[in-house]
Amino acid sequence: PCLGPQVQFDVVVSAYALSELPSRADRIEVIQNLWRKTSHFLVLVENGTKAGHRLLMDARNLVLGEKEKSPLDLRPSFVFAPCPHELPCPQLNASKSLACSFSQAYHPIPFNWNKKPKEEIFSMVILARGAPKEANRWPRITQPVLKRPRHVHCHLCCPDGHMQHAVVTARRHGRYRRYDHQSKCR
């Protein structure tokens, strides 16, 4: 059954679909339809490659610049995550462009030939309707944190649309605890 234009959902998710569409025009049409069906959050996920990240940034820019508002919902769009701003992506505008990506370990179905844990690298953007609250605009970590004996290196995407390299030390920033995937929270 076909859902009418008035039907919206709190959360709409599209994973690994934009890269499968044959043309930019098809992607624009699908993104516009997904946004029309969204009452709160639109989650887009693609491969964690430069190409996947560019597709997501194109979709992000389309939704943020969308002139046609849903007749059901006139609230503006904003980026909920992972970007702390609506400005052009500094990762793509850098002299050496990088994909803003994340990794997630998982255990595949345990067949005899497929028992080892795997890792998926993906890019994502979550778009939302409404107005962003300035208090929630914290810098976001864009690359794995580099751990050193007395400090850590963080690469941050900041609310002003720029990248920042921060070195965090106990002397300058107070006590901190390094966590890695083998640490146990207490």
Segment 6-57, tens digit of pLDDT: 788 999 999 999 999 999 999 999 999 999 999 999 999 999 999 999 999 9
Segment 136-159, tens digit of pLDDT: 678 988 888 888 888 889 989 999
- Classify 40 as helix, strand or coil: strand
Q: What is the mean pLDDT of residues 111-119?
A: 80
| Whether 34 contacts 12, CB under 8 Å | yes
Token pair for 165:
């390299």
Other CB atoms within a 10 A radius of the CB of residue 66 amount to 15
| Whether 78 contacts 128, CB under 8 Å | yes
* pTM of this structure: 0.81
Token pair for 78:
């904003």
- pLDDT at residue 186 tops 50: no
Token pair for 176:
């901190």
- Classify 94 as helix, strand or coil: coil
Residue with tokens 């914290």: 138
Candidate from 59-63, 79-83, 121-125 with smallest mean pLDDT: 79-83
CA 170 – CA 21 distance, rounded (Å): 49
Amino acid identity of residue 186, one-letter, is: R
Query: On the CB side of 149, how many CA atoms lie within 13 Å of its CA?
Result: 0
Distances (CA, A) of 100 to 69, 107, 133: 28, 24, 23
